């Protein structure tokens, strides 16, 4: 699909748009080899001062997304002699969107990109509120402002972007139809997997074995794993990761909502020494957790995930837990600041961590890029789950994502 693009600037720009569409629509994995060859070509073709701003920003973003450490000096061409961003940008929606998306791949100490985020966010927000943008363009802007591509849960992004791309006058209808078909096929697989994991969850009867403090979130655990890798070849890995996330959740709930400090010290010692008998002496729930941990890891070692094919059941939403302090509350109390000040401070920490994550992704060469991408995907899931609230705890925040990924068709 992208083999026909050559090194001429016009063709390269069209090729980059095609690659971006394929990846945002969730079908890039079908063309991994072709995309890799094309991005090698893009990386080997020097950027030119005559490149349009939108094209230059897209080139920068795609290169960094594909593990090429592209320099950010291309952004200097967007700045006037006084150090501010050019006034011509303020009315160029395509350029603003491209720069906004690209700037979110900044590394530490790239102040120019940080300033670009502030500038483009301000301009795009004003445009969205101005009421003069066509509906299709308004949807693009609102989608970007809600969360940049670099930080989006990929399967949720695919579902939402299919609708946005379908209204784009420049959309490729062949790519759009492929994306809809692929989404439907994978959705059927993901539904079956979610049902199978829910059945696994119920078979362990966790509420009875541990207690009412446990957050029963089987579909949320599966959704988390789905966010790390959605491609069909990772079916077994998704189930293994969902089980591991569920296990972490059970440990977390026991630590936060049930155990005393003395019990935690004893349990920690039992886990460190892998002593199931010591865990049982602390209490039944600790013995059960230790047993479940052992069985789960034995299952991983034996590679025992079974084929999936159970009809998907309707998602249910369980009780919320209360009485556990959030990160915002802890920060507010520790630093003597208001809740709003705590949120702002924590968000600054998140921004810094994203820059550090981008930097590590680009500088790490000893680890295969697909594995690094899975780590980035885990960060994307966390961004989705915790950006506005603890969606894992207060499940109302994750209902829409579950419906988009596992329930609604790609045409909805």
**Contact in structure between 110 and 135 (CB atoms under 8 Å):** no
Q: Considering the domain boundaries, does residue 395 fall inside one?
A: no
Q: Considering the domain boundaries, does residue 13 fall inside one?
A: yes
Q: Considering the domain boundaries, does residue 294 fall inside one?
A: no
The pLDDT value recorded for residue 357 is 96
The pLDDT value recorded for residue 312 is 33
Per-residue pLDDT of the chain (412 residues; tens, 9 = 90+): 666 665 566 689 999 999 999 999 999 999 999 999 999 999 998 877 657 899 999 999 999 999 999 999 989 989 998 889 999 999 999 999 999 999 999 999 999 999 999 999 999 999 999 888 999 899 999 999 999 999 999 999 999 999 999 998 889 999 999 999 999 999 999 999 999 999 988 887 776 677 767 777 889 999 999 999 999 999 999 999 999 999 888 888 888 888 899 999 999 999 999 899 999 999 988 998 999 888 888 888 876 544 333 333 333 223 344 455 677 888 888 888 898 888 889 889 999 999 999 999 999 999 999 999 999 999 999 998 887 665 455 556 678 888 889 987 766 5
Tokens of 55: 């094209």
CA atoms within 13 Å, Cβ hemisphere of 315: 25
Which domain range does residue 101 map to?
Answer: 9-173
The answer for residues whose C-beta is within 8 angstroms of residue 19's C-beta and 6 or more apart is 2, 28, 35, 38, 39, 62
Round to whole Å and give the CA distance between 17 and 212.
Answer: 51
Q: Considering the domain boundaries, does residue 265 fall inside one?
A: no
The pLDDT value recorded for residue 54 is 93
Round to whole Å and give the CA distance between 284 and 282.
Answer: 7
The answer for residues whose C-beta is within 8 angstroms of residue 97's C-beta and 6 or more apart is 54, 120, 124, 140, 141, 144
Tokens of 367: 């680890």
Round to whole Å and give the CA distance between 77 and 90.
Answer: 15
The answer for residues whose C-beta is within 8 angstroms of residue 352's C-beta and 6 or more apart is 108
| Number of structural domains the chain divides into | 1
Q: Considering the domain boundaries, does residue 61 fall inside one?
A: yes
Round to whole Å and give the CA distance between 179 and 187.
Answer: 12
Q: Considering the domain boundaries, does residue 49 fall inside one?
A: yes
Q: Considering the domain boundaries, does residue 329 fall inside one?
A: no
Cross-strand partners of 160: none
**Contact in structure between 141 and 127 (CB atoms under 8 Å):** yes
Q: Considering the domain boundaries, does residue 271 fall inside one?
A: no
User: Rounded to two decimals, what is the model's pTM?
Assistant: 0.86
CATH number assigned to the domain comprising residue 83: 1.50.10.130
**Contact in structure between 117 and 103 (CB atoms under 8 Å):** yes
The pLDDT value recorded for residue 1 is 65
The pLDDT value recorded for residue 315 is 33
User: Measuring CA to CA, how many Å separate 297 from each of 212, 247, 293, 302, 305?
Assistant: 25, 10, 6, 9, 12
The pLDDT value recorded for residue 207 is 66
């Amino acid at each position: 699909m992208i083999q026909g693009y050559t090194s001429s600037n016009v063709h390269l720009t069209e090729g980059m748009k095609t690659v971006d569409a394929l990846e945002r629509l969730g079908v890039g994995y079908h063309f991994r080899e072709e995309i890799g060859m094309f991005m090698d070509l893009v990386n080997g073709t020097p950027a030119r001062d005559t490149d349009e701003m939108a094209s230059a920003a897209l080139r920068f973003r795609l290169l960094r997304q594909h593990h090429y450490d592209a320099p950010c000096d291309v952004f200097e061409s967007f700045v006037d002699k006084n150090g501010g961003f050019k006034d011509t940008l303020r009315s160029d929606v395509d350029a603003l969107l491209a720069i906004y998306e690209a700037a979110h791949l900044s590394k530490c100490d790239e102040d120019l990109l940080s300033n670009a985020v502030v500038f483009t966010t301000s301009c795009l927000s004003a445009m969205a509120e101005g009421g003069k943008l066509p509906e299709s363009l308004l949807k693009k802007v609102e989608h970007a402002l809600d969360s940049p591509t670099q930080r989006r849960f990929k399967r949720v992004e695919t579902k939402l972007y299919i609708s946005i791309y379908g209204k784009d006058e420049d959309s490729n209808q062949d790519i759009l139809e492929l994306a809809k078909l692929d989404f439907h096929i994978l959705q059927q697989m993901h539904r079956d997997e979610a049902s199978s994991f829910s059945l696994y969850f119920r078979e362990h009867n966790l509420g009875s074995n541990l207690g009412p403090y446990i957050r029963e979130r089987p579909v949320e655990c599966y959704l988390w794993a789905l966010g790390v890798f959605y491609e069909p070849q990772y079916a077994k890995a998704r189930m293994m990761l969902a089980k591991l996330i569920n296990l972490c959740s059970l440990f977390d709930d026991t630590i936060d909502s049930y155990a005393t400090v003395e019990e935690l010290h004893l349990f920690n010692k039992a886990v460190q020494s892998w002593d199931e008998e010591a865990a049982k002496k602390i209490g039944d729930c600790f013995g059960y957790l230790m047993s479940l941990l052992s069985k789960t890891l034995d299952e991983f070692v034996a590679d025992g995930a079974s084929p999936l094919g159970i009809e998907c059941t309707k998602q249910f939403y369980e009780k919320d837990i209360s009485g556990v302090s959030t990160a915002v509350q802890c920060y507010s109390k520790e630093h003597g600041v208001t809740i709003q000040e705590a949120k702002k401070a924590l968000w600054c920490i998140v921004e810094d961590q994203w820059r550090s994550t981008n930097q590590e992704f680009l500088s790490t060469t000893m680890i295969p890029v697909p594995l690094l991408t899975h780590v980035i995907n885990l960060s994307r899931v966390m961004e989705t789950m915790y950006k506005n609230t603890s969606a894992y705890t207060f499940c109302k925040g994750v209902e829409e994502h579950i419906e988009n990924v596992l329930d609604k068709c790609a045409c909805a």
